[in-house]
Amino acid sequence: MSGLTLTLAAVVTLPIALLAWVAMRFENDDGLRGRLRQMRDLVRLVVMSAHPTGPLYLLWSGHEFSSTTRFLNLGYWRGANDIDEAATNLAELLAQRARLSSADEVLDVGFGYADQDLYWARTHRPRRIVGINLAEHQVRVGRARVEAAGLSHQIDLREGSATRLPFGAHRFDVVLALECAFHFDTREAFFQEASRVLVPGGRIALADLVLTGCDRGLVGRTLDAARARFWQIPEANLVDAAAYRAGLEAAGFTGVSIEVVTGDVLPPLRAEVKRRMREPAVRRKLHPLHRNPLSDFLSRALLTHDWPFAPLDYVIVTARRAARAP
């Protein structure tokens, strides 16, 4: 066998052997088929790390704790008994803050699996909802759900980026961003786009994250950067409320309101996760790559303590596009 053949064989077999070895380390109750799926997901994980939405939504379906919805947000827990109610509450709160009405044409960016669009279409009944989402799989599932609900005439879901909106100027009355703008690269680029596609006087409402604003020193800032990378937040989006307001104003928005609701979002969510993490029903829904002792430890640390979220406040932001924007 020539040296070239040996090298080629090694290049092909070594990564496969490595993948197989890693896949064998994970819990698996589905035999060879399960192992092959784990190998496939490991490859997807590496590939998706380079994708703007990252591997976050591969590893966490977001539905480990939910049963009646497919929301991907952390929820607004005041008066809620479970994550489905809390996530729906958050969609309701955003709609109320945006003063959504039947006269509005709405642009919903980062719509996940379209739960909020189905909810808004049935409750607030805006004239039309157009959705934009970067994740192709979510767009496909969202469209199927809209069709199954018989709401295709009212909800139009498209694949695309919030930072390059495929619409002409002055098209929408309202732009909504339910727990997603911190992902956008960058959030300020999205503000510019939102301002462009809104009619003068149009409204924007966001459920978002801001830095609490304390000066955290070098170690704190390094930790912040690591956290931001984990949550798929570009560093440029790690800003406090004052810079957030300035970003909106620079894009032509006025009357900016930033309401801190952290206490009704993060502590109750963490309590729920801590309470239910070991439930067999929840465990069965965990991604197979998560069902191993190291992942258990990391998930518990990440989701049940303060520090993964520490310097971030959860906020509801509203503003109005000025009559004349820059």
Ligand X SMILES: C[S@@+](CC[C@H](N)C(=O)[O-])C[C@H]1O[C@@H](n2cnc3c(N)ncnc32)[C@H](O)[C@@H]1O
Interface residue list for ligand X (CB under 6 A): 52-53, 71-73, 109-112, 115-116, 132-135, 138, 161-163, 178-180, 183-184
Degrees to nearest 5, angle at CA 281 with 275 and 284: 115
CA 231 – CA 12 distance, rounded (Å): 33
255 Cβ partners below 8 Å, 6+ apart? 318, 319, 320
Whichever of 34 and 52 has its CB closer to ligand X, that residue is 52
* Minimum distance from residue 216 beta carbon to ligand X (Å): 24
| Cα–Cα distance, 172 to 129 (Å, whole number) | 9
User: Which C-beta is closer to ligand X: that of 19 or that of 98?
Assistant: 98
C-beta of 110 vs 252, nearer to ligand X: 110
Sheet holding 128-133, edge to edge: 155-159, 128-133, 105-109, 172-178, 198-211, 312-321, 253-260
CB of 10 to ligand X, least distance (A): 38
Query: 239 vs 322, which CB is nearer to ligand X?
Result: 239
* Closer of 154 and 161 to ligand X (Cβ): 161
Alpha-carbon distance of 289 to 26, in angstroms, equals 6
Residue bearing tokens 């409204």: 203
Q: How far is the CB of 54 from ligand X (least distance, A)?
A: 9
Q: Residue 221 CA to chain centroid, in angstroms?
A: 23
**How far apart are CB 239 and ligand X at their closest, in Å?**
17
**Beta carbon of residue 1, minimum distance to ligand X (angstroms, whole number):** 47
DSSP state of 240: B
Q: How far is the CB of 183 from ligand X (least distance, A)?
A: 4
Rounded to a whole number of angstroms, the minimum distance from the CB of residue 134 to ligand X is 4
Antiparallel, parallel or unpaired: β 253-260 and 312-321? antiparallel
Instruction: Please state, in angstroms and rounded to a whole number, the distance separating the CA atoms of residues 309 and 306.
Output: 6
Residue 200 backbone zone (phi > 0: left; psi -120 to 50: alpha; other: beta): beta
Both tokens assigned to 67: 């049963």
Residues 173 and 107 sit within 8 Å (Cβ to Cβ): no
**Across the strands, what pairs with 108?**
131, 176
Q: In this complex, which beta carbon is closest to ligand X, that of residue 118 or of residue 322?
A: 118
Q: Say how far apart CA 269 and CA 25 lie, in whole Å.
A: 30
> Measured from the CB of residue 163, what is the shortest distance to ligand X in angstroms?
6
Closer CB to ligand X, 19 or 155, in the complex: 155
Which CB sits closer to ligand X, 23 or 59?
A: 59
| Structure token digits, residue 161 | 């980026």
